[in-house]
Structures are given as structure tokens and as C-alpha cells.
Amino acid sequence: METKIFKPTEIDAAAKAIRDGQLVAFPTETVYGLGADATNETAVKQVYMAKGRPSDNPLIVHVTGIDTVEQYAQPLSATAKKLIKAFWPGSLTLIFKLQPGKLSAAVTGGLNTAAFRNPDNQVTLDLIRAAGVPLVGPSANTSGKPSPTLAKHVYHDLNGKIAGILDDGPTEVGVESTVLDMSTDLPTILRPGAVTEEELTAVIGNVRSSHHRVGAKEVPKAPGMKYKHYAPNAQVTIVDREADWSAAMDWASHQAGTIGVMATDSILAELTLPNNIETYSLGANLDSASHQLFAGLRYFDLESPVTGILAQGFPDDGLGAAYMNRLNKSAGQVHFEK
């Protein structure tokens, strides 16, 4: 199959491919998603095949607003409606209990819940409206690899496996949406993202964060809870403290191959770099680092291969919770030790 690159002016052609049961990657403000008609079970199953994704890993359903959610979910609470009003369109995914038989088990992983999101990207909202159906949309990458923030990342992983990619340039946020489970008594964050716990609390009061480890035979309620994620080819090691970077450079200087360094400009400016170091700037601060994280990991996979990667850690709060969630999974929890 030839994977076509659709321009934003070619939404009707991309929508036709969706209606025909084909797969089209689409842009969101977070990362690129792999789109298929959420009401077409055959098309949904092709998403798993194209990504190499385990079939018990549920998919997020992308919609243009609350009306579509109400067609599938059980009646929404006042709290849910507050969240939708405050954060949609945007980087918040909400899990609701479903009306029986409304969505295929291929979408839900066999659960009685499903995750819904209204993405903040006009091109994709136009695509969903033109297709006339909600779209499943896991990240448009090979399962386990860093999420794609550019169309070329999608093309690298899925060329020949999907019908097309709707290219709207680089994504704005760079880490996936926050996933909030609304099917429990107390709203529970299953995956931190661009919408922070503090922002959620300001709208609806108390929420909790889940640190539950999903068992081998357990079906996760949300993406990213069970399987390996975000890993480049090289081993990532997290450097947590600014004071540790000098020792990290000494360690790198004794490695046989090239070592990648991902850090903010202020860190990079202070380092004495060994000859075997290749750097990638994470920008000025946590905001830019979150935006650049996946692009940096992809850079060291696709454009400047290395044998190891040293990546800057940040405090695990606010947006840092989302950044460190992704970075820890990318590194397999490996942190630099003197």
C-alpha cells in the first residue's frame, strides 16, 4: 500500500478513506493519532495490526463535542459536564461507562468503559465532521516507540501500512493528553498529561492519581498503563539533578560509542562536552522540554543514531508529572547514579 500525505486542503479525500474503512493518521495538539472509524470493527482491528499493538490495550475515541459522547456513554454527571466545558477541545481524555453494545470490544478492550477526547486541532475536527463518525486515535507510531510529533515520524513507522497521513506540521503540546477516569466514585488520573492535577482540582475539587500497576492478565482502562512505551533504540538514562551532569559527562567520555544528551539550553551551556557527545536542545524550560521530548528521542533514532541517551529530569509535579511519566517509561526507570 502507498501511504499518501494529505494536505489540510485535502480533508475530504482523507475523510473518504476513513469512511472506506482505511487508516489515516491525523494531527492533534498533543501527538499524531492513527485514525479509523470507531464504529467499524474491522477498521479498528487494523489499527492494532498496523501498530503491532496488543489487542487488550483500549483506544481513545476522538469526537467533536459532547453530543457524540452522549450517543455512546451512560448519562453524564454534572461534574463531567463541568470538565468538558472547561477543557474541551483540549488535552483531556475522559473515561465513561458505556451504554450496552454501543462500541465494539475492539475499541474498549472488552471493558464496559471507553475513553473520549475532543482534540484541539481544527484540521482534525474538520476531518471527524467530514468523515461523519468518531475516530479511534492511538498514537500513530509502532507500539512501544516514541510518540510522533511530526508527520515524518508517522511516515517512518507506518509507511506502507496505512492509507494516509494528514499533515498539519508539528504538534503544539508534544505529550499525550491527561486521562481522567470518570467511571469511579472519585475522578482518577490514570495518565498525567498537559492538563495538570492542579487545573482539574480548580474546576471539580478533589481528584486522585492512580499508581496502580496493571497485572499481566488485567485489561488496562487507558493507554500507557501496562505495556512498554516511548522507547528509542538506545537506552535512555535520566539525569535528575543539575549537580550530576559533570559526573554524567565523565561517564559518557568512557563509552565506546556516541552518547546523546537531551537537556535545556542552560544545562548545555555549562557542560564541558566530551568528543563523543551529540546534543539535542530541550529549549529553555519544562514547557519546551515537554514539547521537544519525543522529537528528541526520535532525532536520536532517525537522524543521529547513538548508543545511549542522557536526558534531563524535572520535578515530578504540574506539567513535570506528564514529562517524567513519559521519560521514566522511555528509560525503563533507569536513572544516573554517581
Binding residues are: 30, 53, 57, 62, 113, 117, 139, 147, 177, 191, 230
Residues at the annotated binding site for L-threonine?
30, 62, 117, 177
CB 282 within 8 A of CB 312: yes
Radius of gyration of the chain (CA): 20
DSSP 98: B
Residues at the annotated binding site for ATP?
53, 57, 113, 139, 147, 191, 230
Q: How many angstroms separate the CA atoms of 324 and 304, rounded?
A: 23
Considering only CA atoms, which of 196, 181, 178, 150 is closest in space to residue 28? 150
Q: How many angstroms separate the CA atoms of 36 and 18, rounded?
A: 6
CB 264 within 8 A of CB 283: yes
State how beta strands 308-312 and 259-263 pair: parallel
> The C-alpha cell of 196 is what?
495538570
Number of Cβ within a 10 Å radius of residue 1: 11
> The C-alpha cell of 177 is what?
493528553
State how beta strands 33-37 and 24-26 pair: antiparallel
Q: How many angstroms separate the CA atoms of 46 and 44, rounded?
A: 5
Number of Cβ within a 10 Å radius of residue 266: 10
At 165, give phi and psi (nearest 5°).
Answer: -135, 125
Q: How many angstroms separate the CA atoms of 226 and 70, rounded?
A: 28
